Amino acid sequence: MPAAFETGNLTLRPYSIVAEILYNENSQRARGVRVIDTLSGESFEYYARIIFINASTIATTGLLLNSKSSRFPQGFGNDSGALGHNLMDHHSSAGAYGTFDGLKDKYYKGRRPCGFIIPRFRNLKSGSDLGFLRGYTIQGDGERKEWQNNLTSAGFGDDFKKQLTTPGPWTVWMAAWGECLPYEENTVSLHETKRDKWGIPQIAIDFSFRENEYKMMDDAMNTSQEMLSQA
């Protein structure tokens, strides 16, 4: 940022929301953006040869959908109508958790390795018959329970203080982050009537996991349980 300021070509515009991308009918290119000042409500236009949109998956899609013109009546660049469809997000609600009663005389201190990742190992070869497509990775963590795990415990006085300062059992947590298939019905769209305080259409999200994702979650849970049992 300091180096960019030194060029004299950078203008930082805080308290601003980009409402739409402006399109030039003659050059058939984007020519700038319309920005709303969140404090005054005033609208400004900024122009550039190249425009970068760094507003995350959903907000960027909403901005493109709201950037309509006679050339792109369904949203900027949306000739096919695919913009806003096939929304995907990884699932991360399947896994396993285990405790180990041994090694109670062992502990750690300082900067220790905190987590682990097991790379994807499902459906790497053609012909796999697991009942689902794609795969998942497993992330995990091993540690001893500490005082944070007793925040909801009842108690008072010396005995309670001792309870909080005495390490609990060793635990291992494992959870899968899995792929989601593209479904046309999983969408990001602009609400037909609702607007935010600046008059920009609110974003509406219609998303759900399907049979493939739930089968993958079951496999991840069962596999995690098996790994912990074998360990």
Could you read off the pLDDT of 157-173 as tens digits, one per residue? 777 777 677 777 888 89
Q: What pLDDT is stored for residue 145 in this prediction?
A: 72
Q: Which of 49-53, 128-132, 152-156 is predicted most confidently? A: 49-53
- Reading phi first (left if > 0) and then psi (alpha if -120 to 50, else beta), residue 110 is in left
- 177: which strand partners? 137
Q: Could you tell me the two tokens for 34? A: 């319309």
Q: Is residue 221's pLDDT more than 90?
A: yes
155 versus 36: the higher-pLDDT residue is 36
CA distance 121 to 141: 19
What's the whole-number mean pLDDT along residues 134-149? Answer: 81
Q: Is residue 154's pLDDT more than 60?
A: yes
The fraction of the chain above a pLDDT of 90, given in percent, is 68
Q: What pLDDT is stored for residue 141 in this prediction?
A: 87
What's the whole-number mean pLDDT along residues 99-124? Answer: 81
91-100, 159-168, 200-209: range with lowest mean pLDDT: 159-168
Coil, strand, or helix at residue 208? Answer: coil
Q: Could you tell me the two tokens for 215? A: 């089968």
The secondary structure element, H or E, covering residue 4 is helix 2-6
The fraction of the chain above a pLDDT of 70, given in percent, is 91
105 versus 50: the higher-pLDDT residue is 50
The band of 148, judged by pLDDT with boundaries at 50, 70 and 90, is: low
Q: What pLDDT is stored for residue 142 in this prediction?
A: 83
CA distance 218 to 131: 11
pTM of whole model > 0.85? no
The secondary structure element, H or E, covering residue 200 is none
Q: Is residue 126's pLDDT more than 90?
A: no
At 181, the amino acid letter reads L
What's the whole-number mean pLDDT along residues 195-199? Answer: 94
CA distance 138 to 187: 27
Place of tokens 């005033």: 42
Is residue 67 exposed (0-12), middle (13-18) or buried (19+ Cβ within 10 Å)? buried
Q: Is residue 9's pLDDT more than 90?
A: no
Q: Is residue 150's pLDDT more than 60?
A: no
Q: What pLDDT is stored for residue 202 in this prediction?
A: 97
Dihedral sign of CA atoms 140, 142, 147, 149 in order? positive
User: If we measure between CA atoms, which residue out of 30, 31, 19, 11 comes closest to residue 55?
Assistant: 19
Average pLDDT, the chain: 89
Would you give the DSSP letter of residue 150? G
